[in-house]
Amino acid sequence: MTDRVTTPVLDVRGLRRHFPAPSGSVRAVDGVSLTIGPGEVVGLVGESGSGKSTVGRCVVRLDTPTGGEVVIDGTDVTSLSARQMRPLRKKVHLVFQDPSSSLNPRMTIRQIIAEPLRLHGLASRAEASARVDELLRQVGLRPELADRTPHQLSGGQRQRVSIARALSVEPALLVADEPTSALDVSVQASVLNLLADLQKDRGFGCLFITHDLAAVEYLADRIAVMYLGRIVEQAPAGELFADPKHPYTQALLSAAPVPDPRAGRERIVLGGDLPSPLDPPPGCHFHTRCPLATDRCRTEAPELRVLPAAEPGGAPREVACHLVGEDGKAPDARAAA
């Protein structure tokens, strides 16, 4: 884990991704800004449908943003052609949610991991083969597995192969999109521990997209909370869990399971469903479910603003909520839920 630094490997500024629809446009991502420094892990959390994965796909340019900027290691990639983007793909790699669908079933494990090295001309065939063996050991797999195909491996082993492939070209940034959600619970912890160890040893930046709050608390330096295409709160991980400011963050954390079943936790139950990004509500997107919403919340969208650091010299935090004071004091949604 590292402190936030001033020179980011990723700088997302006002990112928008709107999808055309017969009756308008789906605002999957609607003005997201975040940064990741070298060696920093930023967790991106929120409900299904909040836009987390779309942010990740735009960052690695598997999807083209509607607006805003995605700056990777000083280069804005949003308007680059596929040809112009190719050299930059060494700097950012994606670990997909489901390794079964992201690994070519007709290729051997050796071919899969060596492919980025071949495409970028970084190693001869002999060098690539030796590099594959080394990477397999680093992700906790035996080199003998290199001549197997993905269907001959377990889900956890396939995800380790995906991680090895992503790290083969020493990227500055890893985007991990729900990397454990398709795995059995029994192997999720081992994959998370592997990611944590590799990140610490190699020092790459990481955008960790997940709905697993326990995982993001364990892995992330900072956490950004998304709701209906917008970030509503950003803070250092420890501070966010200790003192959530936004009513949505409070509700999200209140629903997280606790290790001790005897420990009491007052649950904040939100009314209604997540609104459609095709027709988001006016004002604060959360006001239709917020137990504390006021008339201002229903008409005026709050800006993401900086709050004072919890301690002198500490990292600042950000929140988009009219109810949070300039001094950082926030109402407790449990009182009104």
Which pLDDT band holds residue 273 (cuts at 50, 70, 90)?
confident
What are the angstrom distances between the C-alpha of 147 and each of 111, 143, 276? 9, 9, 46
Which pLDDT band holds residue 264 (cuts at 50, 70, 90)?
low
Looking only at the bridges linking them, the beta strands covering 67-72 and 173-177 are: unpaired
| Statement: residue 236 has pLDDT above 80 | yes
Buried b / exposed e across 130-151, counting CB within 10 Å, b at 16+? ebbbebbebbbbebebbeeebe
If one counts every other C-beta atom within 10 angstroms of the C-beta of residue 119, the result is: 12
If one counts every other C-beta atom within 10 angstroms of the C-beta of residue 30, the result is: 22
Smallest CA-to-CA distance from 227 within 242, 244, 215, 243 is with 244
Average pLDDT of the segment spanning 221-230: 97
Instruction: Specify whether the CB–CB gap between 272 and 289 falls below 8 A.
Output: yes
Amino acid 146: pLDDT: 97
Average pLDDT of the segment spanning 241-245: 94
Residue 316 CA to chain centroid, in angstroms? Answer: 20
Domain 10-91+171-335, classified CATH 3.40.50.300, yes or no:
yes
| Statement: residue 168 has pLDDT above 90 | yes
Average pLDDT of the segment spanning 204-218: 94
Which pLDDT band holds residue 331 (cuts at 50, 70, 90)?
confident
Instruction: Specify whether the CB–CB gap between 176 and 206 falls below 8 A.
Output: yes
| Beta-bridge mates of residue 13 | 69
Range of lowest pLDDT (5-9, 63-67, 172-176) = 5-9
Amino acid 337: pLDDT: 55
Amino acid 4: pLDDT: 44
What are the angstrom distances between the C-alpha of 11 and each of 32, 102, 173? 11, 26, 11
Amino acid 125: pLDDT: 86
Average pLDDT of the segment spanning 201-211: 96
Instruction: Specify whether the CB–CB gap between 178 and 189 falls below 8 A.
Output: no
Average pLDDT of the segment spanning 256-268: 66
Range of lowest pLDDT (12-16, 213-217, 291-295, 332-336) = 332-336
Amino acid 334: pLDDT: 73
Amino acid 99: pLDDT: 87
**Per-state percent for the chain, helix, strand, coil, to nearest 5:** 35, 20, 45
Structure tokens belonging to residue 230 = 């917008």
| Statement: residue 123 has pLDDT above 70 | yes
If one counts every other C-beta atom within 10 angstroms of the C-beta of residue 309, the result is: 15
Q: Treating both helix axes as pointing N-terminal to C-terminal, what angle do 109-119 and 155-167 enclose, rounded to 10 degrees? A: 20
Looking only at the bridges linking them, the beta strands covering 173-177 and 92-95 are: parallel
Smallest CA-to-CA distance from 45 within 235, 209, 188 is with 209
Which pLDDT band holds residue 262 (cuts at 50, 70, 90)?
low
| Statement: residue 267 has pLDDT above 80 | no
Smallest CA-to-CA distance from 155 within 206, 97, 89, 210 is with 97
For 4-29, the pLDDT digits (tens) are 446 799 999 999 999 999 988 999 99
What are the angstrom distances between the C-alpha of 31 and each of 81, 82, 209, 300, 322? 23, 24, 17, 16, 18
Average pLDDT of the segment spanning 58-76: 95
Amino acid 195: pLDDT: 95
Domain boundaries, the chain: 10-91+171-335
If one counts every other C-beta atom within 10 angstroms of the C-beta of residue 164, the result is: 24
Which pLDDT band holds residue 247 (cuts at 50, 70, 90)?
very high
Structure tokens belonging to residue 9 = 């490997």
